[in-house]
Amino acid sequence: MTDRRGPYLDDTLGLMVDGYAWLPALLRRVGGSAAQTRVMGQRALVLRGPDAVRFFYDERHVRRHTAVPEPVQGTLFGHRAVHTLDGADHRHRKAMFRSLLTDPRRVAALVDEAAAAWDDAITTHGDRRQMVLFDEASRVITKGVCGWAGVGLDDAGVAPVARDLTAMVEGFATLGRRHWRARRARGRREDWLAALVEQVRVGAVTAPAGSVLDAVAGYRHRDGQLMDAKLAAVELLNIIRPTVAVSWFVAFTAHALHRWPEHRDRLRSGDTGYATAFAHEVRRFYPFAPFVGARAVTDLTWQSQHVPAGSLVLLDIYGQNHDPALWPDPYRFDPQRFVGRPPDPYELIPQGGADPSTGHRCPGEDVTVALLAAFAGWLARLDYTVPEQDLTISLRRIPTLPRSRIVLADVREPSVSSTFN
């Protein structure tokens, strides 16, 4: 069966209307794991499946340079960011990110900072009638990651920084008001961090030894040249901003605990293996990144589909994470899928796929899983009720959230500290 619209009719409207369901619907229509379309006036090959992940992350086939649209660079990633690089330059800069984000001791230290911020948020406010969890989580993670990174924030500075960091994520996939709010937020935070980097370099501010701020301020390109302060600010944000984006998964975690409360007891018990499995299932089940794109390096063929050099190649992330060929009963929330079974990096791809040490897969995935597993335990132990609210999750909105952003009522301090593991 072939797609009646063929490869030459632009389907940008389909993306805008269908959101996360756009590429899964296209692949359903053609009855396979590859399809041709056009988006934003450009020819594109759509792929899905473990073999497609291997193909997509092979630099002999595709490159990221020129593939990241300017609206995404201007909001989510920043101009000249590591996401836009390929080859040796990408590997060199990616090594800095991996050294900061994959060391288990560093990851544990970040979780400890977030735990302290969470405990402070709960105890400072005491028993209260209501909390908007997404907003609270964004402030908690902002305070935790900035402290961990060596970027000092006083209490008054946490909320505005958190608003700007979440605005960058909320506005990358739209050209409306959210988009312009995201651009302004990025401009403010790049200026702030560029000035901080310059102060560190002239000795006016001391970066904690070995901190993220210290590493980024001292980073040098492959040619030995110091990274300019503006680009250093971009890459600092590319550590801080994705960490705060875990707030989306925190909201989804509370949504899952409300819908399937039978998981609470095991999370309360401090079973860290189950908490990690729960975190993986949240990342698989709930929508976050819809797809990722690159450009064909040369004329290619994939499953009899011709891929002209320079054309777009889109990897269907949401569809793969719900593919029944990989996940039996994919719309059933089941953390047991990952108990005692580490995820295959070519199957579970909520933040991209393949090996993060060699490709473009997010190097902060360990941080995401660790924070999310911790939040699952903290929420399971927190006393609260869920009042009447709109918990629907629109697949048309990218990135999406429960409409109410998860309102918790009658919030009371847990009987044990969130630092219990």
- Say which residues have a Cβ less than 8 Å from residue 162's Cβ, sequence separation at least 6: 135, 138, 139, 141, 142, 244
Number of H helices, E strands in the chain: 16, 10
pLDDT tens column, 35-47: 999 998 899 999 9
Token match 């700007």: residue? 164
pLDDT of residue 359: 62
Residue with tokens 């709010």: 181
Identify which of 27-31, 120-124, 263-267, 298-302 has the greatest average pLDDT. 263-267
pLDDT-derived band at 360, boundaries 50, 70, 90:
low
**Average pLDDT, rounded, for the chain:** 92
Does residue 65 carry a pLDDT above 80? no
pLDDT of residue 416: 52
379-406 pLDDT per residue, tens:
999 999 999 999 999 999 999 999 999 9
Mind listing the pLDDT tens digit for each residue in 72-87? Answer: 999 999 999 998 888 8
pLDDT of residue 175: 79
Asked whether residue 128 carries a pLDDT value surpassing 80, the answer given is no
Alpha helices in 203-228 (DSSP H): 212-217
User: What type of residue is 347?
Assistant: E
Q: Describe the crossing of helices 229-244 and 87-101 by its angle, rounded to 10 degrees.
A: 50
Q: What is the pLDDT of residues 256-290, one digit of tens each?
A: 999 999 999 999 999 999 999 999 999 999 999 99
> Tokens representing 343?
């995820």
Local confidence band at 5 (pLDDT 50, 70, 90 cut-offs): very low
**Strand pairing class (407-412; 128-132):** antiparallel
φ/ψ bin of 190: left (φ > 0), alpha (ψ from -120 to 50), beta (otherwise): alpha
Q: Is the pLDDT of residue 93 over 80?
A: yes
Distance from C-alpha of 105 to C-alpha of 98, rounded to nearest angstrom: 13
Cα distances from 62 to residues 290, 360, 387, in angstroms, run: 19, 11, 48
**Phi, psi values for residue 182, rounded to 5°:** -65, -40
Three-class DSSP category at 383? strand
Phi-psi category of 126—alpha, beta or left, where left has phi over 0 and alpha has psi -120 to 50? left
Output the six-digit token pair for 392. 């629907």
Give the span between the Cα atoms of 164 and 178, in whole angstroms: 11
Domains of the chain: 12-412 (1.10.630.10)
- pLDDT band, residue 67 (cuts 50/70/90): confident
What residues does 252 pair with on adjacent strands?
A: none
| The pLDDT of residue 69 is above 80 | yes
pLDDT in tens, 131-151: 999 999 999 999 999 999 999
* pLDDT digit string, tens, across residues 196-237: 999 999 999 999 999 999 999 999 999 999 999 999 999 999
